[in-house]
Chains A and B, each alone.
Chain A
Amino acid sequence: MTEVTERPDMDRRRLVSITAATLAGVTIAPGVVLQSLAGGKTPNQGVSSQVRWGMLIDTNKCADGCSACVEACNRENAIPSHGRPTTDPQWIRKVKLRDKMTGRVANLPMMCQHCEFPPCVDVCPTGASFRRADGIVMVDRHTCIGCRYCMMACPYKARSFIHENIEEHSVVAPRGKGCVESCNFCAYWLDRGAKTTACAQACAKAGHQAIIFGDLNDPESAIAKRLRELPTRQIRSELELNTGVRYAGV
């Protein structure tokens, strides 16, 4: 019969504590070594608000029946059509209008207006919908939970929800089921030094030159010069969102 004492077994306690400490050390030690992250020095600091990207749409030049901009956008960003127009995403769309009183017809492309005070950014619960320093409003799809509140809030119905699995991806536009997306002014290429977007380029190639893209903050840019010549307005200007996209002739 073992002797029963009041004192706890210190030997057993010591064994347990040493084993636990060793195990913990062996597990944690390798991780402590490699703590530092890359990215301490980046050659550049990223986009700045010195640039504000914007677009000017001259609806007088926008051709009836032409959809070069839409096709270029869909091609560039690998946006497929599933034959389901109610759920297929559209980053840019052509709209044909008629003035109810005068009967005058106008054509224009409509896309994300890249507002300065975007309602979609205000309502996003996780902050996935955000405005970049250079004025581009986009969705951080790593944080988007797919609640679609931004789609409710957008005054231009610019946002689309991806309703199905994506089969073919493009490295230019990573996009996937369950997140919300919209026109991002071809940010992938802008960040690599491009000065124009797929839609603007396609419109120029088609001979219409209805879309001018450029830096609104640069007084010498083509868009800034044209904005000084033409009378233009924002769509739904009464909302005072200070959009980056301006329309002339409508």
Chain B
Amino acid sequence: MQKASFGMAGLVAAFLAGVLLVLAQSVMGDPGVTPGSRAAKLDACVRSTPDMRRNHMKYLKHERDETVHKGIRERDLGLAGCVGCHAATDTLGQAVPVNVKGQFCQSCHEFAAVHIDCFGCHRNTPQQARPEFIPGFSENTPDSQRTFVSQHTLMNDVSADGQPLAMQNHDAASQGRAHD
């Protein structure tokens, strides 16, 4: 009698685990990237996809404290970087906000029923921020002449002549980080 019930318990547990696995697969299998976005053309995010799925909120939260309080702008983990890569462009070439229904952030967050607070303050389309008021400011300025700087660059940053900096800098940077 006891042996049979043990088997019964094991069967139930295995069944439940299987159900959960199947459910998880259905979410994990979907890449989640919106067609027409820059991310759709790339094969990797700044971190691996499962890592991002699970930890993007932690990265963003840690990043924001570092940025705001210490001025460290590790731009591959910054929100502007996410938006720059994951915002789709429509047929007219205009960027679509990432938090609109059906777009990158909203597609998962609606499923997870987690309200996104970010875009009340943060820009939801990519922007090339140009330092118009700083003559001679360039990414090529040596570190010794800067107060401090991060080595990472991202598509949102521009050189002094207004050209967006290339994405290869971004991949090299992410490989350079000794992280899982």
Contact = CB atoms under 8 A, between A and B. Distances in A.
Nearest to A197: B133
B41 interface: no
B120 A177 contact: yes
A171 B84 CA distance: 10
A19 B15 CA distance: 10
B123 A171 contact: yes
Nearest to B126: A171
Contact of B17 (A22, A72, A171, A197): A22
Given A190-B147, A202-B133, A133 B178 contact: no
Q: Which of A174, A176, A196 is most buried by chain B, counting CB atoms within 10 A of its CB?
A: A174
Q: Which of A40, A43, A130 is most buried by chain B, counting CB atoms within 10 A of its CB?
A: A43
Contacts of B37: none
Contacts of B74: 39, 42
Nearest to B5: A11
A40 B66 CA distance: 12
Given A39-B77, A176-B120, A193-B147, A142 B134 contact: no
- Range for the number of chain B residues in contact with chain A: 35 or more
B131 interface: yes
A134 to B, nearest CB: 7
A170 B129 contact: yes
B175 to A, nearest CB: 14
A47 B148 contact: yes
A4 interface: no
Contact of B71 (A47, A140, A171): A47
A195 B156 CA distance: 20
A22 B13 contact: yes
Nearest to A10: B2
B179 interface: yes
A46 B71 CA distance: 6
A99 B88 CA distance: 58
Contact of B147 (A12, A34, A51): A51
B137 A193 contact: yes
Interface of B: 1-2, 5-6, 8-10, 12-14, 16-17, 20, 24, 47, 50-51, 54-55, 58-59, 62-66, 68-74, 77, 80, 119-124, 127, 129, 131, 133-135, 137, 141, 145-152, 156-157, 177-180
Interface of A: 10-12, 14-15, 18-19, 22-23, 26-27, 30-31, 34, 36-47, 51, 72, 76, 130, 132-134, 138, 140-142, 165-166, 169-172, 174-179, 187-198, 201-202
